[in-house]
């Protein structure tokens, strides 16, 4: 068995980026441009990160389709969609810088779909006032990750593929390195770094039904929490309204919002277009009033024309559409396999295949459904976490010196609910800022920071634990119990008794985790890999449950059956905070949201 510091592989960098999705890759480019020696670590092969699955597009106020679009309107949409719980500085930087970041991708070789006059085409999406998403059919994430990957490869960065980071090493001055192992050999590796960028994505694997891959195990959130960083807004987990519900093997698989963006209509088993019933009263005037007006909007969009028709009710925000679908199903108006119907088949088949090629394939190949001929069956699926590591908006710095975070793993940008399309732009804007921030921090340090060998050796020994035990539980059984707990007790609708029960069960699961055992050695052993991911999932699951228990109101993606109203007086402008107490237990509290200046307040129409 490989163990002990004398055999330990070590690599030293100015900036170590953990995670090779959009945020990580963009951070690498920025850090390298700033002159840093950069290392990139990712759990999978390069180009396979979760970004590759993003379908709909990148939100940016390029104003190619609607010339009056602007960063100010994008900012307002983002804040309104986030129920004013977004870090306003992040939402501002995001709206202002997204257009330049998108054009930069084109400068690096991306090929977006075009308008009639040859510019980047933009599509409509839920919660966006104007068609705003730069896209390539419904495979935008692939285009983005491949473009960034090519840029990183051309830059000659060290890429450690199929390498899992399990521990951060800290010293008196903050973070100094990381320890993990190479999946292909099972051998441990230590990274010395002046700055570390966490870009590890989300937490979806805490739930049974999710659009997320095995990689989404809350690694960055848990590593940062253990290192002493704050997590904020962890109660806000986005349940995407449209996942596949049938066949069982693909349950939860994402059905892009672009289906609704291109005109898809939601109906219940009785054929009723139910979204009319669920539009929030204060936003109703932003949506079409009749089927006829919605149809006019779709016709204009298909012809890339401007129109005075307002958008269809299906383009309400994701939190709202998810609750609507859940309610329809619960009240007995669902489809045969427990979802609702999403229909785009009333548009010409060629148009549907051109605009939604991968959806066409996905349903044809996996569900025997031709979406140009009939409706899809869809239902909510765990998709994204709005909460995450608390960061400085401008630099991506966490509350731990030397530790930075960008993308889904960071909190604040999306508030209580993320708008579709704002994730890919988030990755670009804050990936770039965080890479630069980390490089600047690294440049301010004289030499390579001291890596405490006691911590390194303890981390390496931790890796051996589950392989050395001669008895204990199978990690897959533990994972199933964790997912069942979160799915049934911390889902779309929450209530105090359930959340208390979830916290109790999570404590039991933590105890069971400490005796988990695996066979089969260290080489590419998925069971062994799962052990450390479960440790991280248990941290983020507890953070989600405790934050949800604390917030006694409903806002955005957080819906409390026992507190159905939004309580601005108590909870408006307050973020939940999760931090590790000195005794090792998880502390939960709140802090005030950073203040908006007068210009931003004016944009969102807030008086105070």
Partner 1 sequence: MADAHLRVFRGSPGETGRYDEFDVPVEEGMVVLDAVHWIQGHAAPDLAVRWNCKAAKCGSCSAEVDGRPSLMCKTRLSDYDLEEPITVEPMRSFPLIRDLVTDVSWNYEVNRTIEPFSPPDTPVEEWRWKQQDIERVQEYRKCIECFLCQDVCHVLRNHETGRPFLGPRYMVRVAGLELHPADRADRREYLKEDAGIGYCNITKCCTEVCPEHIKITDNAIIPLKERVADAYYDPLQWAWRKLTGRRRGSAAGVELPVLPTEGPSSADPPAGAGA
Compare residues 298 and 467 and give the one whose CB is closer to partner 1. Answer: 467
Compare residues 62 and 315 and give the one whose CB is closer to partner 1. Answer: 62
Strands 403-405 and 188-198: parallel
Query: Which of 183, 260, 311, 535 is an active site residue?
Result: 260
Q: How far is the CB of 175 from partner 1 (least distance, A)?
A: 28
Residue 484 within binding range of partner 1, rule CB under 8 A: no
Residue listed under structure tokens 């904020």: 232
Q: Which residues contact 158 (CB under 8 A, 6 or more apart)?
A: 11, 13, 38, 39, 40
Residue listed under structure tokens 């035990």: 469
- From residue 384 to residue 423, the character string flagging contacts with partner 1 as x (rule: CB under 8 A) and all else as - is ----------------------------------------
Q: How far is the CB of 243 from partner 1 (least distance, A)?
A: 11
Q: How far is the CB of 65 from partner 1 (least distance, A)?
A: 14
Cα separations (Å) of 56 from 122, 214, 282, 319?
Answer: 10, 22, 27, 17
Q: Residues 247, 564, 587, 602: which binds partner 1 (CB under 8 A)?
A: 247
SS3 289: coil
Residue listed under structure tokens 């399309």: 421
Q: Give the span between the Cα atoms of 386 and 395, in whole angstroms.
A: 19
Instruction: Point out which span in 191-199, 225-233, 357-365, 443-451 binds partner 1 (CB under 8 A).
Output: 357-365
Q: Is 260 a catalytic residue?
A: yes
Identify the DSSP state of 206: G
Query: Which of 76, 167, 240, 441 is an active site residue?
Result: 240
Residue 249 within binding range of partner 1, rule CB under 8 A: yes
Q: Residues 523, 562, 591, 599: which binds partner 1 (CB under 8 A)?
A: 523
DSSP 70-137: -HHHHHHHHHHHTTT-S-HHHHHHHHHHHHHHHHHHHHTT----B-TTSSB-EE--TT-SS--EE-ST
Q: Residues 2, 72, 119, 573: which binds partner 1 (CB under 8 A)?
A: 119
Q: Residues 32, 44, 547, 550: which binds partner 1 (CB under 8 A)?
A: 44
End-to-end CA distance of the chain: 62
Residue 278 within binding range of partner 1, rule CB under 8 A: no
- From residue 77 to residue 106, the character string flagging contacts with partner 1 as x (rule: CB under 8 A) and all else as - is --------------------------xx-x
What residues numbered 187-246 form the site for partner 1, per CB under 8 A? 213-215, 246
Q: Give the span between the Cα atoms of 156 and 28, in whole angstroms.
A: 11
CB 264 within 8 A of CB 342: yes
Residue 48 within binding range of partner 1, rule CB under 8 A: yes
Q: Give the span between the Cα atoms of 383 and 212, in whole angstroms.
A: 6
Instruction: Point out which span in 11-19, 131-139, 168-176, 219-227 binds partner 1 (CB under 8 A).
Output: 131-139
CB 432 within 8 A of CB 30: yes
Q: Residues 5, 114, 458, 561: which binds partner 1 (CB under 8 A)?
A: 114
Residue 33 within binding range of partner 1, rule CB under 8 A: no
User: How big is the chain by its Cα radius of gyration, in Å?
Assistant: 23
CB 256 within 8 A of CB 296: no
Q: Is 240 a catalytic residue?
A: yes
Compare residues 77 and 208 and give the one whose CB is closer to partner 1. Answer: 208
Residue 11 within binding range of partner 1, rule CB under 8 A: no
Q: Residues 146, 351, 353, 512: which binds partner 1 (CB under 8 A)?
A: 146
Q: What residues does 210 pair with on adjacent strands?
A: 382
Q: Give the span between the Cα atoms of 555 and 567, in whole angstroms.
A: 8
Q: What residues does 493 pair with on adjacent strands?
A: 559
Instruction: Point out which span in 86-94, 249-257, 278-286, 322-330 binds partner 1 (CB under 8 A).
Output: 249-257
Q: Which residues contact 151 (CB under 8 A, 6 or more apart)?
A: 25, 29, 108, 109
- Residues marked active site are found at 240, 260
Query: Which residues lie near partner 1 (CB under 8 A)?
Result: 44-50, 52-53, 103-104, 106-109, 111, 113-114, 117-119, 121, 136-137, 139, 141-143, 146, 150-151, 153-154, 159, 161, 184, 213-215, 246-250, 253-254, 358, 361-362, 365-367, 474-476, 480, 518-521, 523-528, 530
């Amino acid at each position: 068995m490989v163990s002990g510091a004398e055999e330990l592989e070590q690599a030293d960098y100015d900036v170590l980026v953990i995670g090779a999705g959009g945020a990580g890759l963009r951070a690498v480019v920025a850090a390298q441009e700033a002159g840093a020696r950069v290392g990139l670590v990712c759990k999978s092969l390069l180009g396979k990160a979760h970004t590759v699955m993003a379908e709909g597009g990148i939100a940016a106020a390029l104003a190619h389709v609607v010339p009056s679009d602007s960063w100010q309107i994008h900012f307002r949409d983002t804040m309104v969609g986030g129920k004013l719980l977004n870090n306003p500085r992040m939402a501002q930087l995001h709206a202002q810088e997204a257009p330049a970041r998108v054009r930069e991708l084109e400068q690096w070789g991306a090929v977006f779909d075009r308008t009639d006059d040859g510019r980047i085409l933009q599509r409509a999406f839920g919660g966006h006032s104007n068609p705003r998403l730069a896209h390539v059919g419904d495979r935008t994430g692939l285009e983005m990750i491949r473009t960034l990957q090519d840029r990183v490869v051309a830059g000659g960065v060290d890429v450690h593929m199929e390498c899992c980071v399990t521990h951060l090493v800290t010293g008196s001055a903050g973070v100094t390195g990381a320890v993990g192992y190479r999946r292909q050999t099972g051998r441990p590796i230590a990274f010395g770094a002046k700055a570390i960028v966490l870009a590890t994505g989300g937490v979806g694997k805490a739930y049974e039904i999710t659009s997320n891959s095995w990689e989404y195990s809350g690694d960055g959130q848990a590593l940062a929490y253990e290192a002493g960083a704050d997590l904020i807004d962890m109660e806000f987990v986005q349940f995407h309204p449209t996942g596949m519900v049938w066949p069982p093997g693909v349950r939860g698989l994402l059905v892009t919002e672009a289906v609704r963006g291109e005109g898809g209509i939601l109906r219940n088993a009785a054929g009723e277009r139910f979204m009319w019933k669920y539009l929030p009263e204060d936003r109703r005037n932003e949506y079409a009033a009749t089927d006829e007006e919605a149809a006019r909007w779709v016709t204009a969009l298909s012809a890339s024309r401007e129109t005075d028709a307002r958008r269809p009710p299906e383009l309400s925000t994701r939190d709202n559409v998810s609750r609507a679908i859940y309610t329809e199903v619960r009240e007995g108006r669902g489809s045969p396999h427990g979802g609702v119907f999403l229909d785009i088949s009333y548009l010409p088949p060629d148009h549907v295949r051109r605009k939604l090629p991968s959806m066409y394939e996905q349903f044809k190949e996996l569900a025997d459904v031709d979406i140009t001929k009939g409706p899809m069956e869809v239902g909510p699926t765990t998709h994204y976490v709005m909460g995450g590591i608390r960061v400085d908006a401008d630099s991506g710095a966490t509350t731990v010196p030397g530790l930075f975070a960008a993308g889904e793993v960071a909190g604040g940008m999306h508030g209580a609910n993320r708008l579709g399309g704002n994730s890919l732009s988030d990755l670009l804007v804050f990936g770039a800022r965080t890479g630069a921030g980390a490089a600047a921090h690294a440049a301010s340090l004289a030499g390579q920071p001291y890596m405490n060998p006691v911590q390194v050796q303890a981390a390496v020994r931790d890796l051996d634990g589950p392989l050395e035990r001669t008895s204990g539980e199978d990690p897959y059984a533990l994972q199933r119990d964790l997912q069942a707990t979160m799915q049934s007790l911390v889902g779309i609708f929450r209530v105090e008794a359930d959340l208390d029960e979830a916290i109790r069960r999570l404590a039991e699961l933590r105890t069971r985790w400490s005796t988990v055992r695996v066979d089969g050695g260290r080489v590419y052993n998925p069971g062994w890999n799962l052990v450390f991911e479960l440790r991280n999932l248990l941290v983020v699951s507890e953070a989600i449950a405790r934050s949800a228990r604390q917030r006694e109101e409903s806002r955005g993606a957080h819906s409390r059956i026992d507190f159905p109203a939004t309580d601005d007086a108590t909870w408006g402008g307050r973020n939940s905070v999760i931090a590790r107490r000195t005794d090792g237990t998880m502390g939960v509290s709140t802090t005030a949201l950073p203040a908006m200046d007068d210009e931003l307040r004016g944009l969102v129409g807030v008086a105070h």
